[in-house]
């Protein structure tokens, strides 16, 4: 029974972390049509800087803020410097090679992270306040676990409200649906998309801080891991939909945890990508495709 409960808690925490990774990717993909392959590396770099900030200042809120703001800033910069111009020069009907600069950016950011971090991995003290809580048996969930649960629920809700009610959010939806009409209607498309990248980056930064704090470590591999799991989660739930990102994240976290707990880690990738292929074949727009509302 304790194993089952352990796997359930891990499923939830991992799933919500994946959901946060997926939300940023999904938002950008829906709004701009581009896959930000540098998303994970951006949040990884921001997390390294946040850990450095904590070491220097000793202030946990400042470290978390650094993570969020820096990841958002990287998002804006990569949009204005690369993704936006590349999309602007793309001819109608031409094959999109937008992933190439995205890959390039991811590599650059990764190399910058390697340069600023001489060890490869870095231990991370608790970034979020609170102590461990005994859940069942001897299992103690660290404070960051509760913060993951909270953020995994609150952030997607806030994002949904922002997209439905906020001026910028409505502009994001308009640009996502009909960019040309949005431009003709006077919506500042570039500024709106830059804001989209900023919001996506900020969510990623928060996810990076939560991930590092929960596991007590940040490593270079967090970048690719966040991009890959976020992308798979987004596809599973339905690209471009906040609820889809959350559902996809939970599906992925649950599948991985139960396979590791009851089968073997060796089958984890088989099941993960088997699930992905099954969804692509049976519900190409994600498992929420039929039930979702027309919302971002």
Partner 1 sequence: MKKLALVISALALAAACSSSSSDKAANGPSTSAGPKKVVIAVGGPFSGDDKAVGDEIRAGAKLAADQINAGGGITGGPLKGAQVVIDDGFDDADVPQKAVDNIRKVVDDDKYIAFVGSGLSDASVAAAPVASQAGLSYMAAYASSPKILDAATAQKSVFVIPPTFPAYSFSVADQLTKKGYKKPAIIHLTGTYGDGISDFFVESLKDSGVTPVANESFKFGDAEFTTQLGKIKDAGPDSLVMVGLPDSDALIVKQAEQLGLSVPVFDPGGITNSGTFLKDAGNLANGVVGNTPSDAQRNTPAAVALRDAYTAATKEPVVPDPAVFAYEGVQAVAAGLADGAGKRLDLSDHLHKISIADTGVGPLKFAADGSRVGGRLYIFQVQGGTPVFTVGYEQTGPKAIKEIPLER
Least Å distance, CB 265 to partner 1, is: 5
- If binding is defined by CB under 8 A, does position 168 make contact with partner 1? no
Residue numbers 26-55 binding partner 1 by CB under 8 A: none
- If binding is defined by CB under 8 A, does position 7 make contact with partner 1? yes
Separation CA 80–CA 30 (nearest Å)? 17
Residue whose CB is less far from partner 1, 57 or 111:
111
Closest CA to 71 of 193, 209, 224: 209
- If binding is defined by CB under 8 A, does position 101 make contact with partner 1? yes
Selected from 65, 69, 77, 108, the binder of partner 1 by CB under 8 A is 108
Selected from 58, 96, 140, 161, the binder of partner 1 by CB under 8 A is 140
- If binding is defined by CB under 8 A, does position 266 make contact with partner 1? yes
By three-state DSSP, how is residue 123 classified?
strand
Measured in whole angstroms, the distance separating CA 35 from the mean position of its chain's CA atoms is 12
Separation CA 36–CA 91 (nearest Å)? 20
Least Å distance, CB 148 to partner 1, is: 12
Return the beta strands (E) in the chain as ranges.
121-123, 133-136, 139-141, 217-219
Separation CA 266–CA 171 (nearest Å)? 45
DSSP collapsed to 3 states, 9-22: HHHHHHHHHHHHHH
Residue numbers 208-247 binding partner 1 by CB under 8 A: 211, 215-217, 219-222, 225
- If binding is defined by CB under 8 A, does position 82 make contact with partner 1? yes
Q: Taking a C-beta distance cutoff of 8 angstroms, is the pair 11, 259 a contact?
A: no
Least Å distance, CB 284 to partner 1, is: 28
Separation CA 175–CA 31 (nearest Å)? 6
Binding residues for partner 1, per CB under 8 A? 2-3, 6-7, 9-10, 14, 81-82, 84-86, 88-89, 100-101, 103-108, 111, 114, 118-121, 123, 132, 137-142, 211, 215-217, 219-222, 225, 257, 260-262, 264-266, 268-269
């Amino acid at each position: 029974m304790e194993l089952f409960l352990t796997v359930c808690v891990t499923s939830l925490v991992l799933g919500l972390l994946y959901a946060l990774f997926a939300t940023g990717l999904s938002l950008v993909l829906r709004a701009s049509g581009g896959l930000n392959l540098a998303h994970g590396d951006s949040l990884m770099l921001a997390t390294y800087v946040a850990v450095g900030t904590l070491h220097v200042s000793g202030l946990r809120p400042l470290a978390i803020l650094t993570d969020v703001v820096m990841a958002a800033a990287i998002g804006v910069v990569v949009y204005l410097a690369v993704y936006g111009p590349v999309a602007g020069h793309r001819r109608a009907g031409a094959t999109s090679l937008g992933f190439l600069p995205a890959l390039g950016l991811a590599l650059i950011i990764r190399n910058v992270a390697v340069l600023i971090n001489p060890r490869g991995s870095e231990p991370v003290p608790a970034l979020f306040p609170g102590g461990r809580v005994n859940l069942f048996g001897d299992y103690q969930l660290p404070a960051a676990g509760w913060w993951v649960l909270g953020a995994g629920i609150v952030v997607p809700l806030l994002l949904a409200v922002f997209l439905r009610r906020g001026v910028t959010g409505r502009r994001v939806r308009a640009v996502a649906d009909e960019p040309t009409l949005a431009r003709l209607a006077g919506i500042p498309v570039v500024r709106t998309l830059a804001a989209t990248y900023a919001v996506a980056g900020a969510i990623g930064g928060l996810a990076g801080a939560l991930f590092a704090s929960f596991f007590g470590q940040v490593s270079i591999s967090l970048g690719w891991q966040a991009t890959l799991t976020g992308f798979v989660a987004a596809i599973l739930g339905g690209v471009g939909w906040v609820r889809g990102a959350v559902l996809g994240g939970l599906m992925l976290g649950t599948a991985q945890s139960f396979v590791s707990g009851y089968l073997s880690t060796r089958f984890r990738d088989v099941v993960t990508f088997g699930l992905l292929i099954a969804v692509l074949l049976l519900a190409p727009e994600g498992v929420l495709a039929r039930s979702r509302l027309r919302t971002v």
